[in-house]
Structure 1
Amino acid sequence: MSIPPPPPDHIGWPWTAEPPPLTPLPRYPKITVVTPSFNQGQYLEALIRSVLLQSYPNCELLVFDGGSGDRTLEILQKYDGLIQWVSQKDRGQSDAVNQGLDQATGELVGWQNSDDLYGPHAFYFAAQAWLNQPESDVIYGKIDHINEAGDYLFAYPVQPATVANMIPYSAVTNHSIFLSQTVIQAQERLDLNYHHCMDQEFILRLLLKGYKFTFEPNILAYWRLHDQSKSSQQMETWAREAFRLCERVYGDAQIEAAIREQAQDCLYSLCRDSFAKGRMAVFQEQIGALRSHFGPLPWELRFKAAFARLPGAKVIIDAKAKWR
C-alpha cells in the first residue's frame, strides 16, 4: 500500500523528502513506535509520515487516541492500513503509552508524542547501534526543538544518561529513546501518578535499576514547542513532580552521597524557583516537605518583607536565620 500524498504545499521532511538509502544492515530488527494522541490532528500527520518515510523495512506505528474531537480521526483514517490505531477514551497520556507498550512486538520500541516527530534515518541508526551493542537496554539520541510550523529553534541539551543528570531536569527524554524487549518484558511501564514528568520518572527509574543506556549521536528527533503543548501549560504540575523525583533520589540510601547531596540542593533550588515564579501554593507545599526532611529551615532576611506583602501568606519566617 502506497503512502498517501502530502497536503498541498507541504514539502521537505517529512512530507516529500524520503532519505537516501544507507549501507544495508545485516538484518533489520523490528521497531515499534507507540504514539499517544489527543486533539493534535494538526500535527499528527507529520509524526505518521516521519515513521513511514524512514526507508526502514521492518517497523510499525501504534497510535492510541483518547477520543479526539478535532480532525485526528480524518488523519488516522487517511493512513489506515499503514498504521494501527484505536480512538477511545483512556486515562490519559501515560495510560495510552502503557497500552502501546503492552502490545509492542518490536525488538526495539520507541515512544513519540503526536505533536513531535523523528528525523530521517532515526530507525536505521537505532537499529545499527543496538546490533553493534546488543547488551544495550535503551538506545537514545539527539533532539532538536522546532516551532509550530516545523522550523528549527534550538537543540535540546541531551546529556549522558546518568542518575545525576536526570535531576532536576531530564538529560534524556522520550523523544529519541528506543527500548529493548528486555525493558518491555520486565513490565517497566509509565507511572500513572505522573502527568508531566512521566518520561523523566520512567528513565530515572530505569537508570536506578541498572539498565544499560547507549548514546547514538546520529539519531535525531524533533520536539515541537507550541502554545497548546503540555510543556507550556502545566508548569505547576512540572514543579511538583520534579520535586518528587529529587525527593526520591535524596531518600535512596543506596545512591552515592554526592548524588544525594545534589538532589538535596535541587530540592532547595526548585523551592526557590517556585517562589520566584509566583507558584505560591506549590512553594508552600515544598516548604513543608523541606521542613520534614531537614527540620527548621534557615531563611534570608529579604524574604520576610516579601512574604509580608503576600495576601493570606501562611508561612512563618524565622528572621534571625539565613537561607541555606
Structure 2
Amino acid sequence: MSTATRKPQVSAIVPAYNSACYIGQAVESILNQTYPDCEIIVVDDGSTDDTRSVLQPYCSRIRYIYQENQGVAAARNRGIQEARGELIAFLDHDDFFLPDKLAAQVASFEAQPQLGIVHSGWRRVDWRGEPLGDVEPWQKAPNLDLEDWVRWKPILLSAMMVRREWLERVGGLDTRFQQVCDLDLALRLTLMGCQSTWLHQITVCYREHDRNESRKTPLQAQESWTVLDNFFALPQIPQPIRQLESHYRYYTLVWSAWRLYHTGYISEMVPYLEKSLSYTPYSLTKTVSDWLKSFMRYTSECGGELDVFSLSNSRQWQQLMNYLLKF
C-alpha cells in the first residue's frame, strides 16, 4: 500500500498504576476495535499489585513498559516517546473504549487533515461497567476553540485523539500536575494553534468508582487554579480572552466548589465560593443565586438532583451566608 493511501497508524497509550481490577478490560477494548492498525503501549507506573500478571496473557499483543512511580503525566509522556503511530489515543486504565472509537476518530482526521485534536463524548459507568448516563460536551462547548476550553474545560483524555507531532511540539504533559495535566495540555496546544473538533459520538466509557483519581478534588481544585494562573501569565493570550479573565476565574471557582461539595468536601467548598466574590460579574444576591443554579446544573449533568434544602441548611452554607453579611 502506498504512503499516500495508507491509513494513519494509531498508538493507544494506557498508563497503569495498581490497575489489576480493570486493566484487562481496558486492553481488551483496544484489541476489539474495528480499526486494525493500532499498537498498544501499557506504561506500568510502578504498580505493586498484580497488574503485570494480569497483562501477561496479552504480552504478544501489547508493548509493556515498567517504570518507577512518577505519576500519570510522566507515564503518558513515556508512552508518547515510545509511540510509533501518527495519532495518539489515551486510555486510562479503568476506562474502556467502545468498538468504533478509533475508526471514527481516524476518519475525522482523514476528512480534516488540519486537525490536531478530535474529541468526543463519553458514557459514565459504575464500577461494574453498567451505564449511568452519556456526556455530550459539545452541547455546552460547540466550537471547541480556546474560549470553550478555558470557559467549559470539557476534558476527558480517554475521549480524545491527538496528532503525535503536536504532542511533541508542545513538550508533552506537565508532570507537575497530578489531576489536571490534561486540561493544561489542551490549553497549551490550542494556544499554539492546534485545531480541535468534536466527533458527535460516545466513544469511551468512563468508570466511576471509589478509587478514581478524579475524586481527589481538593488537589484538583488547587491545580485547576494554578493552570489558570499559568495560562493568563502568558503574553500571547488573545485580547478577547484576556478581557474575560475574571469571568473565567469565577466559573472555575464555582465549578471547583461544586466538585468539592459533590465529593463530600463541603468545608473545602466554602473558600472557593468566597474567593469567587472577587471575580463575579453579578451582584451579591445574583451571585448566590448563580451558585445554586450552577450546583443544580452540574449535579443534573451527572444524573442526579441537588438537595438544595440539605445544602442551604448545612453548617458550612450558613457560615458562608453570615460571611456575606459583611459585604
TM-score (normalised: structure 2): 0.74
Q: Which residues in structure 2 correspond to 1:15-164 (within 5 Å)? A: 27-159=6-138, 160-164=143-147
Q: Which residue number in structure 1 is paired with residue 224 of structure 2? A: 242
The amino acid that maps onto 1:259 is I
The amino acid that maps onto 1:67 is: G
| Alpha-carbon distance in 2 for matches of 1:214, 1:140 | 6
Separation in 1, partners of 2:325, 2:17: 49
What is aligned with 2:237? 255
CA distance in 2, matches of 1:279, 1:178: 35
Q: Output the aligned Cα RMSD.
A: 3.4
* Structure 1 range deviating more: 128-137 or 182-191: 182-191
Deviation at 1:200, TM superposition (A): 0.8
Change (3 A) 1:215 1:319: closer
Separation in 1, partners of 2:267, 2:180:
20
Deviation (angstroms), 1:241:
1.3
Q: CA shift at 1:167, angstroms? A: 3.4
Whichever residue aligns with residue 223 of structure 2, its letter is: E
Distance 2:31 2:23 in 1: 13
Does residue 184 of structure 2 align to residue 184 of structure 1?
Answer: no
Deviation at 1:318, TM superposition (A): 10
Structure 1 residues not aligned, in runs of 5+: 1-25, 304-308
Q: Deviations over 1:200-246 (max 9, x none)?
A: 110111111111113222461111111111112x1111111111223
| DSSP-derived class of the 1:113 partner | coil
* Corresponding residue SS for 1:155: strand
Q: Secondary structure at the match of 2:12?
A: strand
Q: Provide the C-alpha distance between the structure 1 equivalents of 2:157 and 2:235, rounded to a whole number of angstroms.
A: 27
2:184 equivalent in structure 1: 201
TM superposition shift of 1:261? 4.6
Equivalent position SS for 2:206? strand
Deviation at 1:34, TM superposition (A): 0.8
Identify unmatched segments of 5+ residues in structure 2: 289-314
Task: Please tell me the residue identity of whatever aligns with 1:265.
Answer: H
Aligned mates of 2:257, 2:205 — CA distance in 1: 32
AA of the residue aligned to 2:35: Y
Separation in structure 2 between the aligned mates of residue 97 and residue 104 of structure 1, nearest angstrom: 10
SS of match in other structure, 2:22: helix
Deviations 1:103-131 (A, max 9, x none): 11101111111001111111111221111
* Deviation sequence 1:234-277 (CA, Å, 0-9, x none): 11111111112233444445434553354313434555676784
Bigger Rg over Cα: 1
**Cα separation, 2, equivalents of 1:231 and 1:212:** 26
Quote how far apart the aligned CAs of 1:280 are: 6.2
Give, in angstroms, the shift of residue 91 of structure 1.
0.8
Q: 1:265 to 1:187 in 2, by over 3 A?
A: closer
Q: Give secondary structure in 1 for the equivalent of 2:64.
A: strand
**1:285-312 CA distances to partner (integer Å, 9 max, x unpaired)?**
9989998x99xxx989xx9xxxxx99xx
- Distance (whole Å) between structure 1 residues aligned to residue 167 and residue 326 of structure 2: 53
Instruction: In structure 2, give the amino acid aligned to 1:105.
Output: R
Hey, what's the Cα distance between the residues in 2 that align with 1:289 and 1:153? 31
Contact 1:145 1:222 in 2 (8 A): yes
Identical columns (%): 23
2-structure distance, mates of 1:273, 1:186: 31
CA drift of 1:29 comes to: 1.5
**CA distance change for structure 1 residues 265 and 44 in 2, over 3 Å: closer, same or farther?**
same
**How far, CA to CA, are the matches of 2:189 and 2:170 in structure 1?**
11
- Indicate the structure with greater helix content: 2
Amino acid at match of 1:244: T
Deviation at 1:151, TM superposition (A): 1.2
Seen in structure 2, the aligned counterparts of structure 1 residues 249 and 93 have a Cα distance that, compared at 3 Å, is closer
SS in structure 1 opposite 2:39? strand
